[in-house]
Amino acid sequence: MEQKNRYSVEQITALIEEQELTREQVLTGMRQMMEIRALENHIGRLLGTGSLKGASHLYAGQEAVAVGAISAIREDDLITSTHRGHGHCHAHGDKAAHTPEEKQEHYNRMLAEVVGKSGGYCKGKGGSMHIADVLHGNLGATGIVSGNIPVATGAALAQKINKTDKVVLCFFGDGAVAHGNFHESLTCASMMDLPVVYIIENNQYAMSLPWKNASRLPNAADKACAYGIPGVVVDGMNFLEVYGAVKTAVGRARRGEGPTLIEAKTYRYTGHSHSDPRAYRTREEEAAWKERDAIELLKSQLLDLKWATGQELDEMETEVSNKLKGAQQFSDASPEPTLDQLYADVYAPEKWTERDYQRDVELRTKIKSDKNMRQLTYAQAIQEACREEMNQNPGVFLLGEDIGVYGGAYGATRGLQEEFGEQRVIDTPIAESAIGGMAVGAAMSGTRPVCEIMYVDFTPIAMDQIANQGAKNRYMFGGKTSVPMVCRTNGGAGRSFAAHHSQSLEALWTHFPGIYVVMPATPYDLKGLLKAAIRDDNPVMFIEHKMLYKESGPVPDEDYIIPFGVADIKREGKDVTIVTYSRMVFRSLEAAELLAREGIDVEVIDLRTLNPLDLDTIINSVKKTGRLVGVTEAYENTSFINEVMAQVNDHAFDWLDAPMIRVAAANVPVPRAEVLEDATIPNVNSIAEACRKAVS
């Protein structure tokens, strides 16, 4: 441990003067640190007696980091936090609370959340690891190590887009700096000069791995040079030092000079979690760190400065202990969440109007009858949808790899950067996690990002960000945020790209609650659904098909959106129902024409959106035909069509006259050779054969 033990009065005075700190600010910091310690010790006792369930990673020992850093920002600045997040939540929430009553309420709601009560910040749905107060700019803690780093970066991007001068503080542990999220985010933030301050709380260990074994670098902040940004190391036990470093970094960020990486050397007093016997460190080491306890250090500094007397500090401790009693009473009295809360806040409410539904019905009729309607390709429909929405709402912006001058791998965004500039059509490095996570953070911070992941095969790289953060944050944070982002991507076989660029992975995305999945087949559907996705307040995975970009179709001139959850019957029939989506709509329609010549009348339902699923249209069709064939280009193994069949089984079994049949892709990685590639996915013959079997 190479840390200074005490600071001389001259040194303290110099720090105070340099930072223009007032007595009131330091006393507030003192109180907040005591409150965090008291809360953590209390939670530790609750865990010890077994009266508290769930994981709580205690912050005791690290108080000077959260409090020093958050003292240096404005009330309207933002933070993101970690699984060890009580300290950040307290310091930030206490800053946002003005009266003693508000401050007590804040303390109450923190404890109530940790114990899972309805009076908690997240109504008992987040708990210790996901505590958040989004309404006041605490964008939340995460149970995924490093998961908050891309989100913070996106929140900072939103400040740039919206031209505010707010700054984002992003806290994480030394364990997180090995993670791709860290590298991708700092790469993007430095490239874009984003107003974010990354704060590594190096408490010497990840879970058990010591920093000295995790890296050849003496300091985690040494990594900053890889991104061309300042890297600063501070004594994380000293409130004044943390405050000073963060204040400088925040000033830099506010002036538009970009991010800083700060490492605060600190120590967690307890185990990683309650069950940790701390076998990886000695009791002597623990005692040595406690010798320099951050609270005792600040107390001694206040005494040295004569800014407080011993009696005043004792009184402060007593007030803290009373406050904690109040919080415990509140959380005891707070009711358990009621069961109706189980399904509340998974999705933000829809804004579709009756007129939107009607217009879609009218336009679908019109595009069939109006032979003179203008034709657009699928790719042009994307461009037009983005352009219209960007013109209507300055918060809409695009980000992704090569979407600017290049126009995206399929040219779908070509020309938009020229039209809207580099600030709104942002070419990112190859960093899918950061792209997805920045979209999440930006969406939670007042913008409407449309990110692009070049192929659906790469979306698993961004899955933590989009599925764990984006799709869950609304629910986990008690319905107090929404994540209005779209992730455009493309799937499907047909270009001899082999197994890494040809899959149909929609079932990965339909599996998660909290995110919609859209898969349009025609330019008309694409344009209306993409515009709807951009206006929607929920995350949307928008999966295009790479074989359709050059296909044309009628698209009306007027401004329209297509509400989600409305399937389109692309062909009416009475003998057998095909349920399908995306490119397979066209193969199914071809099969239907073939079968019509044999006297089999096929109904083809294009789902358009997989989630929400238009079960009514499917069931009504099954009631008419009594037969169902599901067609998908995804692997047969757990494809989304299996889910459709399970739903029909649950809701319309009695109407079926024959077993349902799946026509899906072979359970093999998609091969390169054309002849094999086409054999892996359904074709007109295999679809027609399934229909013949269904009616036989």
Ligand X SMILES: Cc1ncc(C[n+]2csc(CCOP(=O)(O)OP(=O)(O)O)c2C)c(N)n1
Stretch that binds ligand X, among 118-126, 198-206, 425-433, 472-480 (CB under 6 A): 198-206
Per-residue buried b or exposed e for 632-671, using 16+ beta carbons within 10 Å of the residue's own CB: bbbbeeebbbbbbbeebeeebeebbeeebbbbbbeeeebb
Identified binder of ligand X from the candidate list 84, 448, 488, 531, rule CB under 6 A: 84
Direct distance between the N- and C-terminal alpha carbons of the chain, in angstroms, rounded to an integer: 80
Concatenating the DSSP letter of every residue in 607-647 gives -SEEES--HHHHHHHHHHHS-EEEEEEEESTT-HHHHHHHH
Using alpha carbons, select from 379, 329, 386 the residue that is nearest to residue 544.
379
| Residue found under tokens 């399970």 | 646
Stretch that binds ligand X, among 203-211, 445-453, 484-492, 496-504 (CB under 6 A): 203-211
Contact flag: residue 272 with ligand X (CB under 6 A): yes
Taking the complex as a whole, the smallest distance from the CB of residue 212 to ligand X amounts, in Å, to 13
Beta bridge partners of 193: none
Binding string, residues 18-57; x marks residues near ligand X by CB under 6 A:
---------------------------------------x
Taking the complex as a whole, the smallest distance from the CB of residue 208 to ligand X amounts, in Å, to 9
Taking the complex as a whole, the smallest distance from the CB of residue 204 to ligand X amounts, in Å, to 8
| Residue found under tokens 């079994």 | 653
Angle at 464 between CA 460 and CA 469, to 5 degrees: 140
Taking the complex as a whole, the smallest distance from the CB of residue 83 to ligand X amounts, in Å, to 5
The span from the CA of 72 to the CA of 75, in Å, is: 10
Nearer to ligand X, 33 or 631 (CB): 33
Q: Hey, is 318 helix, strand or coil?
A: helix
Nearer to ligand X, 203 or 413 (CB): 203
Contact flag: residue 389 with ligand X (CB under 6 A): no
Nearer to ligand X, 279 or 675 (CB): 279
Stretch that binds ligand X, among 168-176, 380-388, 437-445, 499-507 (CB under 6 A): 168-176
Identified binder of ligand X from the candidate list 83, 274, 323, 480, rule CB under 6 A: 83
Nearer to ligand X, 143 or 231 (CB): 143
Name the burial class of residue 352, with classes exposed (0-12), middle (13-18) and buried (19+) by CB atoms within 10 angstroms of its CB: middle
Nearer to ligand X, 70 or 176 (CB): 176
Nearer to ligand X, 267 or 512 (CB): 267
Taking the complex as a whole, the smallest distance from the CB of residue 468 to ligand X amounts, in Å, to 9
Angle in degrees, 0-180, between the axes of helices 523-535 and 354-369, rounded to the nearest 10: 160
Nearer to ligand X, 242 or 548 (CB): 242
The first and second tokens of residue 138, run together, are 């605490």
Angle at 112 between CA 107 and CA 115, to 5 degrees: 130
The span from the CA of 408 to the CA of 410, in Å, is: 5
Identified binder of ligand X from the candidate list 60, 199, 206, 466, rule CB under 6 A: 206
Taking the complex as a whole, the smallest distance from the CB of residue 273 to ligand X amounts, in Å, to 8
Taking the complex as a whole, the smallest distance from the CB of residue 237 to ligand X amounts, in Å, to 15
Angle at 181 between CA 255 and CA 485, to 5 degrees: 75
Nearer to ligand X, 99 or 275 (CB): 275
Using alpha carbons, select from 642, 402, 439, 463 the residue that is nearest to residue 539.
439
Contact flag: residue 160 with ligand X (CB under 6 A): no
Beta carbons of 634 and 507 less than 8 angstroms apart: yes
Identified binder of ligand X from the candidate list 61, 126, 127, 143, rule CB under 6 A: 143
Taking the complex as a whole, the smallest distance from the CB of residue 145 to ligand X amounts, in Å, to 4
Angle at 37 between CA 211 and CA 92, to 5 degrees: 85
| Residue found under tokens 């995306």 | 582
DSSP state letter for 551: -
Contact flag: residue 546 with ligand X (CB under 6 A): no
Contact flag: residue 207 with ligand X (CB under 6 A): yes
Report the site for ligand X in 470-529 (rule: CB under 6 A): none
Taking the complex as a whole, the smallest distance from the CB of residue 305 to ligand X amounts, in Å, to 31
Stretch that binds ligand X, among 205-213, 372-380, 393-401, 632-640 (CB under 6 A): 205-213
Which position among 57, 83, 136, 501 bears the catalytic label? 501
Nearer to ligand X, 172 or 635 (CB): 172
Nearer to ligand X, 285 or 422 (CB): 285
Contact flag: residue 144 with ligand X (CB under 6 A): yes
| Residue found under tokens 């009858």 | 369
Report the site for ligand X in 171-190 (rule: CB under 6 A): 172-176
Nearer to ligand X, 272 or 292 (CB): 272
Q: Which residue is nearest to ligand X (CB)?
A: 173
Binding string, residues 648-677; x marks residues near ligand X by CB under 6 A:
------------------------------
Stretch that binds ligand X, among 137-145, 233-241, 498-506, 614-622 (CB under 6 A): 137-145
Q: What are phi and psi of 219, to 5 degrees?
A: -125, 140
Taking the complex as a whole, the smallest distance from the CB of residue 562 to ligand X amounts, in Å, to 37
CA distances (Å), origin 55, targets 22, 200, 271, 341, 573:
37, 22, 12, 22, 55
Nearer to ligand X, 37 or 272 (CB): 272
Using alpha carbons, select from 401, 534, 535 the residue that is nearest to residue 459.
401
Beta carbons of 38 and 168 less than 8 angstroms apart: no
Stretch that binds ligand X, among 91-99, 169-177, 608-616, 624-632 (CB under 6 A): 169-177
Is 500 in the active site?
no
CA distances (Å), origin 82, targets 93, 147, 330:
15, 8, 25
Per-residue buried b or exposed e for 373-411, using 16+ beta carbons within 10 Å of the residue's own CB: beebbbbbbbbbbbbbbbeeeebbbbbbbebbeebbbbb
CA distances (Å), origin 261, targets 193, 216, 395, 442:
13, 18, 28, 20
Identified binder of ligand X from the candidate list 153, 187, 203, 473, rule CB under 6 A: 203
Contact flag: residue 80 with ligand X (CB under 6 A): no
Identified binder of ligand X from the candidate list 46, 114, 145, 151, rule CB under 6 A: 145
The span from the CA of 155 to the CA of 399, in Å, is: 14
Stretch that binds ligand X, among 138-146, 309-317, 476-484, 595-603 (CB under 6 A): 138-146
Taking the complex as a whole, the smallest distance from the CB of residue 121 to ligand X amounts, in Å, to 20
Catalytic residues, by residue number, are 501
Instruction: Tell me which residues touch ligand X (CB under 6 A).
Output: 57, 83-84, 143-145, 172-176, 203, 205-207, 272
